[in-house]
C-alpha cells in the first residue's frame, strides 16, 4: 500500500489504517488469545506493537523537536505517568513527542506513544492546559478505546458478511485479515470522549495540576472551531454536554484544587 506524505499526515485514524494495512494485520489475528471477551479485541501486546510501528512511521515523516517545548511536554507527560496506578505504569509504554506541524492536533497511539503538534502546543498558554490534553489522550490509551472501537467495527463487519450469506470460512478469514479496507473508519464515541475526560481530569489533578486547565483547553479549541476547525476536534468532538460534564466533575470532586497555579507543579 502506497500513501503519499500528504495523505499520511491527515489524521490519527489514517495513520493507524496505514500501519495496519502495511503489516500489522497478521499480528492482530495470529497472536495469543485476546484478553477480552470480544474475539476481535487486539491484546495489549498487539496494541503496543501496532502503536510502536505507527510511531516509527510518524517520526520518519515529521521533524521531532528537542527544544524547550519538547522538554516541557515530556516533563508534563511523565508527571502524569508518575501519578498513575502502578499497574497502568507497568502496562503502557508512554512516550511524549513534539512534532513540527501547523495542524492544531495531538493524539496518542495505542500502547502509549503520544504526539503533540506545534500547531496545538503553541496555542496552549500554561502547563495545566497541556496536562489537560495529555491526560485525555493517555486515558484513551489506558482504557483501550482504539482497540475496543476496532473490535466493534470488525464485529459489525463480520455481522454484515453473515447477513449477506458470505458464511464459508475463507471469506471470514479474509475479512479478518483485511483490516485496512474501506470499511475501516473508527471514531471515538461520545461515551469514550467523556470517559477520557473523566480519567484525564483525575490524572492531571493527581499529578498536581489545576483542573481548570481542561476547561481552558476546551475554550482554546472552541474559540478556533468557528474559523479554522482544529484537526483535534475531528477525532475528539467537543460537545456542550462534554464541557458541562467536566465543569460538574470539577465542582463536585476537585473544587479544592482550583487554587493551584495554572503553570502546575514545575513552574
Residues in contact with Zn ion by CB under 5 A are 193, 196, 236
Q: CA-CA distance, 102 to 79, in Å (whole number)? A: 26
Q: CA-CA distance, 262 to 68, in Å (whole number)? A: 18
Min dist. Cβ of residue 6 to Zn ion (A):
24
Residue nearer to Zn ion on the CB measure, 84 or 238: 238
58, three cell numbers: 510518524
Min dist. Cβ of residue 136 to Zn ion (A):
6
Min dist. Cβ of residue 156 to Zn ion (A):
21
Cβ-based neighbours of 258, under 8 Å, separated by 6 or more: 210, 211, 212, 250
Residue nearer to Zn ion on the CB measure, 187 or 253: 187
- Closest residue to Zn ion, judged by C-beta, is 236
Min dist. Cβ of residue 120 to Zn ion (A):
13
Instruction: Give the sheet arrangement for strand 113-117, strand by strand.
Output: 95-99, 113-117, 106-108
Give φ, ψ of 207 to 5 degrees: -85, -5
Q: Which residues of 83-94 are buried (b: 16+ CB within 10 A; e: fewer)?
A: bbeeebeebbeb
Residue nearer to Zn ion on the CB measure, 196 or 205: 196
Residue nearer to Zn ion on the CB measure, 28 or 196: 196
Residue nearer to Zn ion on the CB measure, 49 or 236: 236
Min dist. Cβ of residue 196 to Zn ion (A):
5
Amino acid at each position: 500500500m502506497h500513501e503519499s506524505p500528504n495523505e499520511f499526515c491527515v489524521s490519527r485514524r489514517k495513520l493507524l489504517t496505514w500501519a495496519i494495512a502495511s503489516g500489522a494485520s497478521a499480528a492482530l489475528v495470529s497472536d495469543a488469545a485476546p484478553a477480552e471477551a470480544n474475539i476481535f479485541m487486539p491484546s495489549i501486546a498487539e496494541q503496543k506493537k501496532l502503536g510502536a510501528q505507527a510511531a516509527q512511521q510518524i517520526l520518519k515523516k515529521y521533524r521531532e523537536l528537542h527544544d524547550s517545548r519538547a522538554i516541557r511536554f515530556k516533563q508534563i507527560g511523565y508527571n502524569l505517568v508518575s501519578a498513575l496506578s502502578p499497574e497502568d505504569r507497568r502496562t503502557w509504554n508512554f512516550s511524549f513527542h513534539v512534532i513540527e506541524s501547523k495542524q492544531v492536533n495531538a493524539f496518542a497511539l495505542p500502547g502509549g506513544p503520544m504526539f503533540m503538534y506545534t500547531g496545538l502546543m503553541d496555542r496552549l498558554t500554561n502547563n495545566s492546559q497541556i496536562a489537560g490534553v495529555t491526560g485525555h489522550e493517555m486515558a484513551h490509551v489506558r482504557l483501550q478505546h482504539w482497540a475496543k472501537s476496532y473490535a466493534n467495527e470488525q464485529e459489525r463487519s463480520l455481522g454484515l458478511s453473515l447477513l449477506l450469506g458470505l458464511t464459508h470460512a475463507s471469506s471470514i478469514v479474509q475479512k479478518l485479515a483485511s483490516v485496512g479496507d474501506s470499511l475501516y473508519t473508527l471514531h471515538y464515541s461520545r461515551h469514550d470522549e467523556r470517559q477520557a475526560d473523566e480519567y484525564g481530569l483525575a490524572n492531571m489533578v493527581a499529578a498536581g495540576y489545576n483542573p481548570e486547565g481542561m476547561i481552558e483547553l476546551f475554550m482554546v479549541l472552541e474559540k478556533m472551531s468557528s474559523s479554522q476547525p482544529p484537526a483535534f476536534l475531528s477525532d475528539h468532538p467537543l460537545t456542550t454536554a462534554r464541557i458541562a460534564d467536566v465543569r460538574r466533575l470539577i465542582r463536585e470532586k476537585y473544587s479544592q484544587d482550583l487554587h493551584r497555579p495554572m503553570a502546575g507543579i514545575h513552574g
